[in-house]
Amino acid sequence: MISILEANTPKLLKEFVKFPFSLYKNHPYWVPPLIQDELDSFDKSKNPAFESAEAYFYLAFKDQKIVGRIAAIINWDEVRHQNKPKVRFGWWDVIDDLEVTKALLHKVYDLGRQNNLEYVEGPMGFSNLDKVGVVTEGYDEIGSMITWYNFPYYKEHLESLGYVKEKEYLESKFSFDNVHIDSFFKAQELIKKRYHLTPINFKNNKAIMPYVDEMFDLFNLSYANLSSFVAITDIQKEYFKKKYISFINPEYIKFIVDQNNKMIAFSIVMPSFSEALQKAKGKLFPFGFYHMLQAKKNSKEVLFYLIGILPEYQNKGVTAIVFNEYYNTFKEKGIHTCIRTPELEDNHAIQNIWKHFDSVIYRRRRTYRKNL
């Protein structure tokens, strides 16, 4: 018999976070999160997502053993301001038992119906900067710290329950050896002169902080037209500053400003922490911090996390300036692989950015939808 219990105590929430560690034990491609980081994400006093969202966390038990988990989420900004009457589900992990998936999803349906919502979509987190999507292709590739991994049967469970594809995401990579500076060097010189643009590089995180609020404002403007976008609030800006900036090498953050020192483009790249997180096994201490620090200093793989360009500068070749700055940084650090984190299949503007880089799609993921 399957029973569902809300993870509404510190002990149960920790069990919720740790369940995937047993489900994917010794799996070569699963990348564990940091346990405390996950717990902080679910703490209403720490995560500002709860200012505009509500979430409930559930564990499934069978024969007194945990066999699945799920989070049921409503992003009220999305419901009220974008007129999207949906309930989300995320942090979904389960053994290969369709009945367990059914039982967990019914808790999501209950939340949606109690609030007169019309459909369910997932897996997805609280906001656009959370993890998203079920892997549907590319199971033999290691994940990353900003994506979920799953077994192939996850897709089969959802489709057998009548779920249909809502959004498709692509993950790609390319070899830095295949990047030729002559494809953008001359162009970026011309573009800088034509639009009076200047790149800004950094050597320490402290120097970045005065620009971060403006960067998030630009993020909101540059992604506003995407169907899935929910703007980042002022409170969330402060949270993401603390959560992400310290993880990122300052030389991997690039800003472009105009002649009035107004930011018109930004890009954030992260070193790959995948293998370091596997070694850390969910904990920074006693040795996890060392593995993370080594990856930050020495990783030869990088992830293009975010690129944002002011709408009036899109399609004007500004990315040539960005790529020129990264070319110099990557060459100095000996980077060999560049990874593009999940991008919406219908985001043609972002796809167009990479047309000269011989990218290879190595994984696909999607969110699924079902009417209530």
Whole-angstrom distance, CA of residue 213 vs CA of residue 116: 35
* Cβ–Cβ < 8 Å for 205, 321: no
DSSP 8-state assignment for residue 123: S
Report pTM: 0.92
Token output for 100: 């367990």
The predicted structure's pLDDT at residue 187: 87
| pLDDT digit string, tens, across residues 100-144 | 999 999 999 999 999 999 999 999 999 877 999 999 999 999 999
Measured CA angle at 254 (ends 253, 260), to 5 deg: 135
Burial of 299 (0-12, 13-18, 19+ CB in 10 A): buried
The predicted structure's pLDDT at residue 232: 80
Q: How far apart are the first and last CA of the chain?
A: 25
The predicted structure's pLDDT at residue 348: 76
Q: Return the residue matching tokens 């690039």.
A: 254
Phi, psi of 178 (to 5 degrees): -90, 0
The predicted structure's pLDDT at residue 227: 63
The yes-or-no verdict on residue 180 having pLDDT over 90 is no
Domains and CATH numbers, the chain: 2-170 (3.40.630.30), 175-362 (3.40.630.30)
| Short-list 289, 330, 336, CA closest to 36 | 289
The yes-or-no verdict on residue 46 having pLDDT over 80 is yes
Ranking 9-13, 46-50, 236-240, 350-354 by mean pLDDT, the lowest is 350-354
The yes-or-no verdict on residue 94 having pLDDT over 80 is yes
Cis, peptide link before residue 33, omega less than 30° from 0: no
The yes-or-no verdict on residue 230 having pLDDT over 90 is no
Most confident by average pLDDT, 5-19, 175-189, 220-234, 319-333: 5-19
